[in-house]
Chain A
Amino acid sequence: MARAGGAQAASFAAGSRRYSYDLPRSVPWPGMGAIHVHNLKKTYRVHRKPQGLSASVRSLFRRQYKMVRAVDGISFDIEPGEMVGFLGPNGAGKTTTLKVLSGLIYPTEGHVRVLDFVPQERKNAYRRQFALLMGQKNQLWWDLPAAESFRLHKEIYTIDDERFERVQDDLTEMLSVKDLLNQPVRELSLGERMKMELIAALLHSPSVLFLDEPTIGLDVVAQASIRRCLRDYNRDHGVTVLLTSHYMQDIEALCDRVMVINHGRLVHDGPLQTIIERFAAHKILTLRFQEGAWPDRIEDVGDVIEFNPPAVTLRVPRESVTRHAAELLSAYALSDVSIEDPPIDDVISAMYGDSAMMTPDQEASGA
């Protein structure tokens, strides 16, 4: 990807990384914070649909509503150029948060600032500086080649000709879809279409990018390609990214920092690795015994995950795993022992379950 720049580009070093921005824009300098969210709450009023015909008829005249708290007091700050993963089960409040940050819905309570704008004021100056990409929605004209939708974006975002050509060239090259530009979108594969959607979102060179499941339903190759593009684009342009995904590979590959939300509350904010340290109650112990050295009551050590004599894989409580391993090593002839962290997916899903138990009275929806 060629560097956007020329005389107007401002670049500066922050830590070990270099950021470069295209001007004119209000450039968020490090320390100012690209995104600031304080005690954000969002409550929806939802029509309570009764069961049965007579109740349905009654509800025509007298509707019953219940209040659903989709986001329940979350706070975080994101620095310019950061790429943050946003994890949580369906209905946890991820999409609601992204929509509040985009100015699409009003927060019920709390403060939100993005690039020093208040999103719900929906100023054009703000809307020129961010993009929201939703993997499950389609923004391009279905029956038209993507190139025509891009030209429309050019007019709506008043991008000048030279800059438009350059950005479009760079992005189509980066995602290797140059030869598909003039093919109707409906004839593209899901992966190709998603790449075009991503280009449309980046055409106006946003400073902040909200990505809601950008790789959903894509094959492995397309996922990797989109991931690579996002990583390179973030590195070259210092764009701030908040990304939700159900694929842990996306988060592992792209995000140094992860926020986990469940039932509208932030349950973790930090590096991905610390999730394992904080939330994995177990370790995975794999043992391979030598001939004739099989112990009688292996299930006393931990839960058996895989039973494949002479090898066995067990889930063992974190605090006792080294003791058990040492005891087994001294008592039996073992050819191999390994202790590993559980897969991150498992830790996260266990976490969703745990935090649900912590707040059983919360009803969450709206994502």
Chain B
Amino acid sequence: MKKGLLLILSLFCTVAMADDNVVNVSVWSQELSPNIVQQFQKDTGIKVNYSTFDSNEVLYAKMKASKQTQYDVVEPSSYYITRMVREDMIEKIDISRLSNYKNLNPAFIHPDYDPKGEYSIPWVWGLTGIFVNRKYYPNDKIEKWTDLWSPKYRDSLLLLNDPREVFNVGLMTLGYSPNENNLQHLQQAYQNLVALLPNVRLYNSSSVPSMLVDEDVTIGMAWNADVYKAQLQNPDIEFIYPKDKFVIWVDSLVIPKNAPHRDNAYKFLNYVLQAQIAAMQVKETFYPTANQAALAYLPPELANSQIIFPNADLIKKGYFQTDINDNALDAISRYWQLLKLQ
């Protein structure tokens, strides 16, 4: 009977054609330039079936929806990699087949979410910090997340519309790790965030740069690449690395278990690991790349930007986001609903 249900469900999924010279790739929207895809097709003759997704949850649900995976390369975020390894959804990657692996920044190849670096190829990364528009707050001393709790920012903050991101802040300001499984600590973080609510103006994560440029919101939390983009058009915007720690996320390329076109997947991975290709990606979207060799191919104002390429000491101060257990996730999801019902 369960098979019948799966059969019905699979009717709703796209079925990739059993053509041999293809590679089925699904990545975060905006994180793999269509130009790279085109160039790969031209250089190798392999057709790329390219699709995008907007949240890890969607990718996870799609991968779970069919028994035999259709994808050859997907790009989950750091904390979902732990989950996918635990649930046996992705394969170990044979690094010896990737001659361009050496281009990667060593800071990213043994991260907490994949300690041996066996399952994932770091592609783009970013970190969540504080932004402030200095035209509105010229002299305010803003150094830490806790500064955002000040009553003078009533009804003005932007928070990312992402439960884990917001709870990271709630936990770190109490001195806990963002990868906390302790339910009591999560409850304290929730109470801490309730105190922040009067200051919250909106939650958004998909159109942050344009909101910053137009000054619809002038202070809050944001990803470094989004702030960099906004700053190009509105120089009053400043990015701050919070002194009470911050979270680094890494979106990595992985190969799903039993990928139908494994050889092409390796060719694709090795191709995008080239320094020039990774540099192409940065020039288009400004997301920091884990490809160190790519920096040589970037214009100096990009390669030297402290916002998108902070120095190694600063990176060490951040936490890599890892997976938390189902009880903790449920608690966050419940507290998130409560936050929005206040």
Query: Is A bound to B?
Result: no
Question: A residues within 8 Å of B by Cβ?
Answer: none
Question: B residues within 8 Å of A by Cβ?
Answer: none
